[in-house]
Amino acid sequence: MRLFVSIIFPLLKPVTSTVVVLTSINVFNDFVHPLYFFPGADNATVQLTLYNFTSRFTTSWNLLFADIVLISIPPLILFLFFNKKIVAGMTAGAVKG
């Protein structure tokens, strides 16, 4: 375990951070599972609120775009926090030594 923590894990930091960012964005943007498994207004996730602001005949565009801005803030902050690690992970195998 000490070998993994001291040698292998520092080499995997860019890969681990990239996987964390991409997986969290996938989970955050999931629409279908909360729609089917958490029915009702009490269990609405942020992605389901987009669905609630649109209807067949009218759409509340001001609420919809305000909701889009609020939904896009957490992935943006996550990307800004892990930006250097993501770029390091993408360029780690691109240069031959």
**pLDDT tens across 5-46, in order?**
888 888 888 788 878 888 888 888 788 888 888 777 777 787
Give the pLDDT band of residue 54 (cuts 50, 70, 90).
confident
pTM of the model: 0.60
28: closest CA among 90, 87, 73? 73
Q: Where along the chain do its domains lie?
A: 2-91
The yes-or-no verdict on residue 97 having pLDDT over 60 is no
